[in-house]
Amino acid sequence: MLVVRPAGPSDFDSLMELAVLSGRGFTSLPEDEQTLRSRLALSQASFQAEVAAPEAWYTLMLEDLDAGDVIGVAGVKAGVGLKRPHFSFRVVTLAQSSPTLDKRFDHRALVLVNECAGWSEVGSLFLKPERRKGGAGRLLAQSRYMLIGLEPERFAEMVLAELRGWFDEDGGCPFWDHVANKFFRLGFDEADMMSASTDGQFILDLAPRHPIYAELLPKEARDVLGRVHREGEAARAMLETEGFRYQGLIDIFDAGPTVAARRDDIKTVRDARRLRLRLGEDAYGEEALVSTGEIGSFRAVRAPVLIDGETAIVGRDAAQALRLSEGDMVRVKA
């Protein structure tokens, strides 16, 4: 059985393995020991409510209980842009006209903005390549919304997700090579690591202050504005199913799109029901997403569930994976 559970300091080796596998451009999973250890410590403190709610960063691990192997990771940041700016490029249309020439032109331009300050963020979704079938990704992705739905007041009214931008088959990043690199004068990997492991002051210091006209960029850069990495299409589809939509914002390093939704309109947050657990001798009923009823003890599985009024009848294996007993509260999303 697969279970989503809180990450803690003991998960360092597993998280580092996933970071290595994630490859270039996965900013939230840098191959940096200090950064990953700090993230795991913050995750543990967040689940234990030892940090202020807006500063919490919950990291979730997807574990195969039968194999005893961690196969995926995901995360929820309660608030972005609070201690450091959360920069994006907004893709805007600038209209220019000349009555004398009787001509009008619309120009796409990239404008540096910090519009998402204070929003919550779902991200860091990554699974081992060989385990991306059978609903594992869906379980991991939806568990983030189950977490948010447990105590919505801990999270912002708007929730965003940043998708990795386009990289060529040889690992090159067209937007970085033709645009961002001109301002930061660093290798992509170095800038990506600094973004993940520092306070981001270098971005504030060096990012462009004036609009960048897309028509002046090479075609290779124009073509990838808002384009999702080939390995991110499934993640985008799952986000859109939950109600996330493109916001006209792109990442300042790789031009990947930002999607967002109102917290209370996210499908899983909105539709999950709070029910009382009853144990069944065997698993039966329609398969559903089931989580514990409290953030501090958060765990989530997909399992057969029979809903009877305000009661969820769940098999003993699923209840054991959730570490729950008869009469405990659960949340269920059919």
Residues with catalytic roles: 229
Strand-pair partners of 97: 104
Which residue shows structure tokens 């699974």? 127
Is the separation of the CB atoms in 87 and 252 below 8 Å?
Answer: yes
Q: Are strands 300-308 and 257-262 parallel, antiparallel or unpaired?
A: unpaired
Report the C-alpha gap between 137 and 143 in whole angstroms: 10
- Can you spell out the DSSP letters for 203-266? HHHHS--S-EEGGGS-HHHHTTTTPPPGGGHHHHHHHHHHT-EEEEEE-TTT--EEEEEEGGGS
CB neighbours (10 Å) of residue 280? 17
Report the C-alpha gap between 78 and 81 in whole angstroms: 10
Report the C-alpha gap between 89 and 26 in whole angstroms: 18
Alpha carbon separation from 24 to 28, 113, 166, 172, 186 (Å, rounded): 11, 24, 11, 9, 15
Alpha carbon separation from 164 to 108, 250, 297 (Å, rounded): 21, 10, 31
Helix (H) or strand (E) holding 194: helix 188-197
Length of the chain: 334
With CA atoms as reference, report the closest residue to 151 among 310, 1, 316, 263: 263
| Six token digits for residue 189 | 């990997």
